[in-house]
Amino acid sequence: MPARPSVTEAELEAHLRGICFKTGPPRRTGVEIEWLVHDAHHPRCPVDPARHREAAAALRALPLRSALTFEPGGQLELSSLPATSLTACIEAVSADLALVRPAMRELGLGMAGHGHNPWHPPRRVLIEPRYDAMEAYFDRWGPAGRSMMCGTASVQVCLDAGQEEPGPLGLGRRWRLAHLLGAVLVAAFANSPVSEGCPTGYRSTRQLVWSQMDPARTLAPPDGPDPRAAWAAYVLDAPVMCLRGDDGPWDAPEGLTFRDWVRTGAPRPPTEEDLDYHVTTLFPPVRPRGHLELRMIDAQPGDSGWVVPLAVTAALFDDPEAAESVYRVVKPLAETAGARPAPRNPLWRHATRAALTDPELRAAALACFTIAQEALARLDVPAGVRGAVARFTERYVARGRCPADDLLDGAYGEPSATDEGPPGPVGTAPPEPRTLSSAAPLGASPAAPRTGPAHPVDAAYEDQLTPGKDSL
């Protein structure tokens, strides 16, 4: 590994401020899409690591425009290049998928859009120093880290940070919008209610997993008037996950923050390159990488399920009229969120468990999707994309449902809502439904409780879901 000169704390803070938010009129859109890889004929049977390696070799030989990577559990990820428009982004990724899917079928493999693996316990197939160190680090917090690394998949929308000036497209507004709208996106696209064959009691088990991990690297930075200052402090005060080296494991002293590392210079002085790598080990729900990386959306079902969250999010952020309207819609959600950062505040927790059966989130989502559909027409997005958003709105949002509800209906023999059928029930609540406020309960309990080996839940998380404690 090439040696680079060490730098001062002030230099590193200036570096973070310079690279984390690159401002200007929003022009580019990107997306990172993950899928769970499974045997095409026997999805409940784990895929042998040798088949993962075979798939990686075959796919890397394809002329793809997107970057192709594999996650620790073998999840396949496509990361688009920054596109000059939403339409261009969708067309580029769709063209790559037209090559990837047939190649996977030839190998007898399928690509499943679930936010959390519904079949298998986490099993790592990539053996690399980074993932060895990551696994060891997260094991200190319990099993959620392995579940995140090996059993989750998402649709991550990447948007320009915005203009330096205030206004609907300004950096400060977009940063705040991302953290309030983020809860609505969690709820509307929740698609991970099952783990190891059993419902977990949460419509987004993936989001639950993220909330159970090291808060110093998975919570949002504190809210404030200067996102750059908040992010720089967040990065420097986060514990170091690993110290890279040419030989041996990438272990780091437990509890060593990057700021401590800079000030002590031990076990060796850090460099700017070390700081850049450290940022890649931080996983807040919105991560500034020059652009804004929105990380909260579950992977979606269907060959083109990823298009809807991408289109809705991009339209709400990049159309000025929509950005102004949606901010007025989600701003009152800050009262429910309270002072705690996402995803460990009441707003995000309601989204994780209740999704759109929460009356407040349902109303906000319906308003947001209506605004998005109007914006997509102004952005001259193809009719097929607008139609997909309209169908999703009708099938799910207007009925207070999300994709997770289809999976829960199937698990308990309940009919799933269809595009053509009459409106179904708002949705069946997870185990032990509760009242969020003075409104009606989240839903009626099913005839038989949804039981089974639930995903591990820490007591602090459940405490925040207890009636009367949402304001803590």
Residue-wise pLDDT tens digits, 311-335:
999 999 999 999 999 999 999 999 9
Query: Within 13 A of 303's CA, how many CA atoms are on the CB side?
Result: 9
Distance of CA 247 to the CA centre of its chain: 33
Instruction: Please choose, from the candidates 121, 127, 120, 78, the residue with its C-alpha nearest in 3D space to the C-alpha of residue 99.
Output: 78
Question: Which of the four pLDDT bands, split at 50, 70 and 90, describes residue 43?
Answer: confident
Q: In angstroms, how far apart are the furthest CA atoms of the chain?
A: 66
Cα 140 from Cα 214, distance rounded (Å): 9
DSSP bridge pairs for 360? none
Tell me: the pLDDT tens digits for 51-90?
Answer: 999 999 999 999 999 999 999 999 999 999 999 999 999 9
The structure tokens listed for 117 are 């693996």
pTM beyond cutoff 0.95: no
Cα 314 from Cα 306, distance rounded (Å): 12
Cα 28 from Cα 37, distance rounded (Å): 29
- Tell me what pLDDT residue 412 has: 66
Q: Which helix (H) or strand (E) holds 136?
A: helix 129-139
Tell me: the pLDDT tens digits for 152-209?
Answer: 999 999 999 999 999 999 999 999 999 999 999 999 999 999 999 999 999 999 999 9
Helix axes 307-318, 359-378, angle to 10 degrees: 80
